[in-house]
C-alpha cells in the first residue's frame, strides 16, 4: 500500500505535512509519497536530510493557495500537488490521497481526475464525530452548499455503506438533520428527501436535531454541505472552548487542583475524544478512489491520523463496498 500526501496543502505546509508523514511512517509502517516541491520538502526533513525507505518524494512545480479559485486550479495548474496526487491514484501508483489543502480544489481535482462512482451526482464529505454512545457519521460536511433531495438520498446510501464497512456498524440508524423531528419541518428539499428516505431499504429513523449529533443514538446523519460544515466548525469551536473553560476552573482553588490531579487521566481521555486531530479528516465519498480532506490548520497528529484512516479505508475495501452497494441501490430504482 502507498498513500500520497499533498505536501503543499494547508496553512502550515509543507512543515506539518512532512512531520505528520514521518510520524505515520514510523508508527504505522506504511509506504508514503510526498507530493510537492522537492526542495521545500527536503528543508523540512531531519538534519541528515535522509528519508526512510518507506517514504519517497514526487516532485511537482505548482502549489495551490487556500483562497485560490478551484476553477482556476483545474484549468491552469495541471502540475499542482493536489492534481498530481490524484493522477497518481488514477495511474495506480498510490492507493489514496491525504490533503489539508484548499478543499474546493481538492474535491474538483478528485472529480476531474478520477470521476464519480456510477449513480452518484455529487460526492460528499463524511466526518466522524464522537458520540456519547459511539461514533456518528455526518455527511455532507462541506462538499456541496446546495443539494437536491435525490443527492441527499445518495448521501444516505453512502453513509449507510460507509458505516457498515469501515466502522463495523450493524444496521446503522439513518437520520436527516433538521430543525425538528416532524416530517413536515424544514425547507422543501429536506421535506422531499424525507419522503425519499422512507422508501429506501435502510434503517431510516426520521429527522434528527443538532443536539442528536453527539448522542450517538443515530449513527448516520445526512445534511447538505452548508449545514453540515456549520455543525462541524461549531463542534470544533465548542470542543476548544470546553477544554479551555475546564482547565480555567481547575486552577481556581487548591481543592480544584487536587481534584484534577486525582482525575487527570479521565480528563486527558476526555480532551482526546474531543480533539479533531484524533479523527484526522473527512472522507470524500462518491469518487472513483480514496481521498481524505483534512482541516487547513491541521497538526502533524491530524495528518498522521488521516493517513491511518486512509489505510483503514483501503484495508477494509470500503471503496469496493461503496461501488457495489450503490449499484445494488440503482437496480432497486433508487
Closest by alpha carbon to 61, among 97, 13, 8? 8
- Give the pLDDT confidence score for residue 96 in this predicted structure: 97
- Model-level pTM? 0.89
Quick one: 111 and 12 in the same domain?
A: yes
- Give the pLDDT confidence score for residue 37 in this predicted structure: 94
Confirm whether 308 is domain-assigned.
Answer: no
If one counts the domains in the chain, the total is 2
Q: In this structure, are strands 96-99 and 282-285 parallel, antiparallel, or unpaired?
A: unpaired
Quick one: 167 and 34 in the same domain?
A: no
- Give the pLDDT confidence score for residue 50 in this predicted structure: 65
Quick one: 296 and 267 in the same domain?
A: no
DSSP 276-328: GGGG--EEEESBSS-EEE--TT--HHHHHHHHHHHHHHHHTTHHHHHHHHHHH
Quick one: 148 and 113 in the same domain?
A: no
Q: How far apart are CA 155 and CA 224, in angstroms?
A: 9
Quick one: 226 and 266 in the same domain?
A: yes
Q: How far apart are CA 250 and CA 212, in angstroms?
A: 29
Confirm whether 34 is domain-assigned.
Answer: yes
- Give the pLDDT confidence score for residue 274 in this predicted structure: 66
Q: How far apart are CA 261 and CA 106, in angstroms?
A: 44
Quick one: 172 and 274 in the same domain?
A: yes
Quick one: 144 and 231 in the same domain?
A: yes
Q: How far apart are CA 236 and CA 230, in angstroms?
A: 10
At a CB cut-off of 8 Å and minimum separation 6, what does 19 contact?
Answer: 44, 300, 303
Q: How far apart are CA 166 and CA 162, in angstroms?
A: 6
Q: In this structure, are strands 2-6 and 96-99 parallel, antiparallel, or unpaired?
A: parallel
Let me know if 164 is exposed, middle or buried by CB neighbors in 10 A (0-12, 13-18, 19+): buried
- CA quadruple 328, 329, 331, 332: dihedral positive or negative? positive
Confirm whether 326 is domain-assigned.
Answer: no
- CB of 154 closer than 8 Å to CB of 119: yes
Q: How far apart are CA 17 and CA 81, in angstroms?
A: 13
- Give the pLDDT confidence score for residue 131 in this predicted structure: 85
Confirm whether 17 is domain-assigned.
Answer: yes
Quick one: 84 and 207 in the same domain?
A: no
Specify the CATH number for the domain of residue 217.
3.40.718.10
Quick one: 195 and 159 in the same domain?
A: yes
In the predicted model, residues of the chain with pLDDT beneath 50 are: none
- CB of 10 closer than 8 Å to CB of 100: yes
Quick one: 223 and 259 in the same domain?
A: yes
What does the radius of gyration of the chain's CA atoms come to, in whole angstroms?
20
Quick one: 166 and 95 in the same domain?
A: no
Q: In 3-state terms, what secondary structure has residue 124?
A: strand
Domain containing 175 equals 128-278
Quick one: 170 and 247 in the same domain?
A: yes
Amino acid at each position: 500500500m502507498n498513500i500520497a500526501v499533498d505536501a503543499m496543502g494547508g496553512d502550515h505546509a509543507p512543515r506539518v505535512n512532512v512531520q505528520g508523514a514521518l510520524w505515520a511512517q514510523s508508527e504505522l509502517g506504511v509506504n508514503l509519497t510526498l507530493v510537492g516541491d522537492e526542495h521545500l520538502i527536503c528543508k523540512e526533513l531531519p538534519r541528515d536530510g535522509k528519508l526512510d525507505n518507506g517514504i519517497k518524494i514526487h516532485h511537482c512545480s505548482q502549489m495551490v493557495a487556500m483562497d485560490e479559485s478551484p476553477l482556476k486550479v483545474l484549468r491552469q495548474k495541471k502540475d499542482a500537488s493536489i492534481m498530481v496526487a490524484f493522477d497518481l491514484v488514477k495511474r495506480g501508483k498510490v492507493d489514496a490521497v491525504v490533503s489539508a489543502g484548499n478543499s474546493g480544489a481538492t474535491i474538483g481535482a478528485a472529480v476531474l481526475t478520477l470521476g464519480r462512482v456510477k449513480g452518484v451526482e455529487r460526492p460528499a464529505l463524511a466526518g466522524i464525530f464522537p458520540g456519547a454512545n459511539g461514533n456518528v457519521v455526518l455527511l455532507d460536511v462541506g462538499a456541496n452548499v446546495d443539494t437536491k433531495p435525490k443527492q441527499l438520498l445518495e448521501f444516505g446510501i453512502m453513509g449507510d455503506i460507509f458505516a457498515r464497512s469501515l466502522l463495523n456498524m450493524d444496521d446503522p440508524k439513518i437520520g436527516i438533520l433538521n430543525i425538528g423531528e416532524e416530517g413536515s419541518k424544514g425547507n422543501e428539499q429536506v421535506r422531499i428527501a424525507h419522503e425519499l428516505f422512507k422508501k429506501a431499504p435502510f434503517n431510516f429513523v426520521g429527522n434528527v436535531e443538532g443536539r442528536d449529533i453527539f448522542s450517538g443514538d443515530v449513527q448516520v446523519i445526512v445534511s447538505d454541505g452548508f449545514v453540515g460544515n456549520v455543525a462541524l466548525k461549531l463542534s470544533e469551536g465548542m470542543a476548544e472552548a470546553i477544554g479551555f473553560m475546564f482547565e480555567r476552573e481547575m486552577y481556581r482553588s487548591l481543592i480544584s487542583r487536587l481534584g484534577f490531579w486525582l482525575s487527570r487521566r479521565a480528563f486527558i481521555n476526555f480532551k482526546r475524544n474531543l480533539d479533531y486531530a484524533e479523527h484526522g479528516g473527512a472522507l470524500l465519498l462518491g469518487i472513483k478512489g480514496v481521498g481524505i480532506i483534512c482541516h487547513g490548520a491541521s497538526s502533524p497528529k491530524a495528518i498522521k491520523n488521516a493517513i491511518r484512516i486512509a489505510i483503514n479505508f483501503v484495508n477494509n475495501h470500503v471503496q469496493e463496498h461503496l461501488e457495489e452497494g450503490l449499484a445494488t441501490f440503482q437496480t432497486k430504482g433508487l
